[in-house]
Amino acid sequence: MFSSAGFAKTWQYIELFKQGLITTLSLSALTVIFGFILALIIALIRLSRIRPFDWLATAYVEVFRATPMLVQLFIVYYVIFGNISVPSFKLFGFIRFERFLPGVVALSMNSGAYLSEIIRAGIQSIDMGQTEAARSLGMSKSMTMKEIILPQAIKNILPAIANEFVTIIKESSICYTIGVQEIMYAVNATKGATYRIAEPLIIATVVYFCLTFPTSKIIAYFERRMSRGDKR
Amino acid sequence: METRDELIKVTDLKKHYKEGVLKALDGVSTTINKGDVLVIIGPSGSGKSTFLRSLNLLEVPTSGSVVFHGIDITKKTYTDAEGKTVKLNIDEHRRRMGMVFQHFNLFPHMTILDNMTLAPIKVRKMPRAEAELKAFALLKRVGLADRADAYPIQLSGGQKQRVAIVRALMMEPEVMLFDEPTSALDPEMVGEVLQVMTELAKTGMTMVIVTHEMGFAREVGKRIIFMDGGKMIEEGTPDQIFNHPQSPRLQDFLKKVL
């Protein structure tokens, strides 16, 4: 199954894995940022109860949660970006932008739907008295949201957000199907060149674990920091 | 008579739920003058909290008006001195009315000091140093200067409510609204909060208080309103209300609570 010769062969292509790691990191980081912004907007629209926007936001969330990620990715890549011309250049000298961008868009749209539900639940879990106290002090709606509600809501939902971030890193592997050179793409390329599959997969597993495990640990650290107000 | 002292004028205020089946407020009218200490008493569900919360529009009335400084704050616009129609910004009016809640509603993610300075800094654009100086002075007044860096969860109920009162005072309001400020407190902590309120009343602060503390109402209140079923049943001085109640409902209520 495994052999040191196999690892030696695979190791010749380690550069592909390095590139894959950088691509996966960029893909996930951008998805986390855009997905979170999108999620916040969707959550606030849903909570605003302004018709028909709240209805549209709800429909968006339901559609993205009820369909496979792969279908969404293909629709974004082949259908939407198939009709838009994207400048083709290489990020860092190897990431093909015209494939990378649709990947970021599809992942962000998908995680935005999931995260928005988490954020919405977090906002709704905050006692109405908090809003009333802030508004009675003359603070505006948006100021209340930013200073009072969101800090408490985000603290409460941090474990769920961490989970979603870890999911994004793992889900980003699906982008190899549209030719984004992330880690799974490196596995496939190495497989084709060396006829070895077990060793590249082992390397991919280790790399993914090294990405996701510290991510959850870092968020756990922030969780402890933000819960200072909970200690007696 | 003395209309220049008039601060809030409430006219025929109604709050209906379920298309009028439930009437939380059913036509309440009164005038609150500067320096007034108005205490509202009545059984649970009589509409006294709804009335108080309508004064700063935390509760939006179904009909009627709340005129604060000559402006009906229940409307979306008002006409200014030059006859122009101006959009009403409720935040500007709310910052002139302090409010203290039954459940304190301190911001749990901030220290006591930040709880107090947040709104003055963000809303009134007060410099941080000035806001903190003011906060310490107020905390000292209620005997909590040493707790400035504590978080709300580290305080007792009575301490929290004293902080909530001075947090509202930070905005230098013209009137303070108290919504059952001692109802969520352990009995031994009621006194310390009432004492702060009594001292506040002595400074001439205009106060509207919803409470179940009849002794406090009698002692500190300048005017008492008895509400029941969303209506103002009786209004008068503490002596009139407590010693010479007119309506059977008030007589019945006092028999139960005193």
**Nearest 10 degrees: CA dihedral of A20, A25, A30, A31?**
90
Name every chain B residue with its beta carbon within 8 A of the beta carbon of A139. 91, 118-119, 122-123
For chain B, strand residue ranges (E) read: 6-17, 22-33, 37-41, 63-68, 71-72, 77-79, 85-87, 97-100, 175-179, 206-210, 223-228, 231-236
A228/chain B closest Cα distance in angstroms: 8
Name every chain B residue with its beta carbon within 8 A of the beta carbon of A230. 108, 151, 153
Percent of chain A with pLDDT over 70: 98
A220 against A58, higher pLDDT? A58
B201 against B1, higher pLDDT? B201
The average pLDDT across B86-104 equals: 94
The enclosing H or E element of A64 equals: helix A53-66
Please, is B256 exposed, middle or buried when counting C-beta atoms within 10 Å of its C-beta (0-12, 13-18, 19+)? Answer: exposed
Split at pLDDT 50, 70, 90, the class of B1 is: very low
pLDDT at residue A229, rounded to an integer: 64
pLDDT at residue A158, rounded to an integer: 85
Quick one: how far is CA A175 from the chain centroid?
Answer: 12
The average pLDDT across B203-217 equals: 94
Q: How far apart are CA B193 and CA B162, in angstroms?
A: 6
3-state secondary structure of B223: strand
Q: How far apart are CA A107 and CA A64, in angstroms?
A: 11
The answer to which of A52-66, A149-163, B125-139 has the lowest mean pLDDT is A149-163
The average pLDDT across A10-19 equals: 90
pLDDT value at A143 more than 60:
yes
Quick check: B94 contacting A, CB < 8 Å?
yes
ipTM beyond 0.90? yes
At A110-129, the pLDDT tens digits run 999 999 999 999 999 999 99
Split at pLDDT 50, 70, 90, the class of B2 is: very low
pLDDT at residue A231, rounded to an integer: 60
- Looking up tokens 């008492």 gives B224
Closest CA to B56 of A225, A192, A103, A137: A137
Do the Cβ atoms of A138 and B98 come within 8 Å? no
Split at pLDDT 50, 70, 90, the class of A232 is: low
